[in-house]
């Protein structure tokens, strides 16, 4: 398992056979924590030369205001979500605020390399399908 920067609540694991990175974040999402998590994910992508990321944030809650959520989503986009070399599949369910907003931004901007879903199987299937395209 790859754990970077000893972030409480985040775990990252590279699956060599299936060639994808699985991440999980639990707890309260704050802007600083999200930025550190993104840095850890990018480091794992580079370490394993693997652009496929499944990230489970189903047990994460945001304590940010709507404006802070928008700023947070924008910073995540700039930190790696907009990089079309990577394929991101995000599974969420607990907190609709930031994830539903991201979902809408993805649709409006037609970002094909980023998928967000509140169904874990659908999110994983999308990522595995990306490996075959």
How high is the pLDDT of residue 2? 47
Residue 46: domain span: 4-131
Helix axes 66-76, 31-48, angle to 10 degrees: 20
How high is the pLDDT of residue 132? 82
Percentage of the chain lying above the pLDDT 70 cut: 67
How high is the pLDDT of residue 96? 64
Report the distance separating Cα 68 and Cα 1, nearest Å.
Answer: 31
CATH of the domain at 51: 3.30.750.24
* Residues facing 53 on adjacent strands: 21, 88
Total count of domains within the chain: 1
Over residues 1-46, the pLDDT tens digits come to: 444 434 567 889 999 999 999 998 877 665 566 677 778 888 999 9
> What 3 state SS string does 66-112 have?
HHHHHHHHHHHHHHHHCCCCCEEEEECCCCHHHHHHHHHHHHHCCCC
Report the distance separating Cα 9 and Cα 67, nearest Å.
Answer: 24
Over residues 80-106, the pLDDT tens digits come to: 666 788 898 989 876 666 667 777 777
């Amino acid at each position: 398992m790859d754990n970077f920067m000893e972030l409480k609540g985040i775990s990252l694991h590279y699956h060599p056979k299936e060639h994808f990175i699985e991440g999980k974040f639990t707890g309260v999402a704050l802007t600083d924590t999200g930025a550190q998590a993104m840095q850890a994910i990018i480091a794992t992508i580079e370490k394993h030369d693997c652009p496929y990321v499944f990230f489970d944030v189903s047990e994460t809650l945001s304590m940010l205001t709507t404006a802070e959520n928008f700023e947070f989503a924008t910073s995540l986009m700039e930190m790696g979500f907009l990089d079309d070399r990577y394929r991101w599949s995000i599974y969420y369910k607990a907190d609709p605020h930031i994830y539903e907003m991201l979902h809408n931004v993805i649709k409006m901007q037609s970002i094909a390399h980023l998928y967000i879903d509140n169904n874990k199987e659908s999110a994983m299937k999308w990522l595995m399908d990306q490996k075959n395209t």
